[in-house]
Amino acid sequence: MSEPAVEVMDVSVRYGDVVALDSASLVVETGRVCALIGMNGSGKSTLFKAVMGLVRPRTGQVRLFGTDPATSRRSGEVAYVPQAETVDWTFPLRVRDVVAMGRYGRMSALRRSRPADRTAVAQALHQVELTELAERQIGELSGGQRKRVFVARGIAQEARLLLLDEPFSGVDKRSEATMTDVLRERAATGHTVIIATHDLTAVHELADEAALMHKRVIMHASPRDVLRPENLALAFTPSGAGQE
């Protein structure tokens, strides 16, 4: 059997005195869509940082496809779709340019695009239904369209693992439906997708499995089981059993 796409083993992360992750463990197999569910501050973004090798765990270990996460990220195996708030939208970039960034890891130092790069960008734009907006400045798009641009960047990158931070917050219905279809298709073609969200409505249709977070993964099961009210209460009640 092949290695899991993601193995997070007993990972603890602190920022100064703040404990962001406390012995978190999660295994996601290749070809799955996993939803990470938890309140603001429950450690979802920190888990992503650990998965990308951007924070050094105090304890524990992360493996992506059996290798070190920073190596895996640098070799382009991981694509990240950030929360909208963390991006400077005034920067004058066309939609096509942002998607083309997904190809940088495959280009020479001069970043001269080859036909294969242009084809990959065109296909990714088509998949997220943004072909007609390819020449627009990214700052002129709606929130949902911007998210789709980043999903297209990840597709153009041909990353094996796609991490999405709150992809549905402030997103129109069309963008949500398009992204759901695209992400399901990614999983069907052997890619692995992890989505951090506190939007529970999308989870049933989108995810094969769900992990409930409260500084650690307190439950990892089918969306049906995880979304039972008594289980959600563990993660969404400040005094719930998930918090110590």
Ligand X SMILES: Nc1ncnc2c1ncn2[C@@H]1O[C@H](COP(=O)(O)OP(=O)(O)OP(=O)(O)O)[C@@H](O)[C@H]1O
Q: Is 223 left (phi over 0), alpha (psi -120 to 50) or beta?
A: alpha
Answer whether 240's CB lies under 8 Å from 234's CB. Answer: yes
Place of tokens 């005195």: 17
Closest among 135, 140, 142 to 96, alpha carbons compared: 135
197 lies in the binding site for ligand X (CB under 6 A): no
Least gap, CB of 48 to ligand X (angstroms): 8
167 lies in the binding site for ligand X (CB under 6 A): no
Least gap, CB of 85 to ligand X (angstroms): 9
Q: Between 2 and 41, how does the x/- string for binding to ligand X read (CB under 6 A)?
A: -------------x--x-x-----------------x-xx
Least gap, CB of 61 to ligand X (angstroms): 19
Q: Which of 6, 34, 35, 44 binds ligand X (CB under 6 A)?
A: 44
Place of tokens 């939803």: 35
How far is CA 184 from each of CA 46, 72, 162, rounded to the nearest angstrom? 24, 23, 12
Total residues in contact with ligand X, by rule CB under 6 A: 11
58 lies in the binding site for ligand X (CB under 6 A): no
Q: What is the 3-state secondary structure (H, E, C) of 112-171?
A: CCCHHHHHHHHHHHHHCCCHHHCCCEHHHCCHHHHHHHHHHHHHHHCCCEEEEECCCCCC
Q: Which of 33, 46, 103, 124 binds ligand X (CB under 6 A)?
A: 46
242 lies in the binding site for ligand X (CB under 6 A): no
Residue whose CB is less far from ligand X, 138 or 196: 196
Q: Which of 4, 28, 35, 45 binds ligand X (CB under 6 A)?
A: 45
Answer whether 179's CB lies under 8 Å from 128's CB. Answer: yes
Residue whose CB is less far from ligand X, 51 or 79: 51
DSSP assignment letter at 4: P
Instruction: Please give the residue ranges that form the binding site for ligand X (CB under 6 A).
Output: 15, 18, 20, 38, 40-46
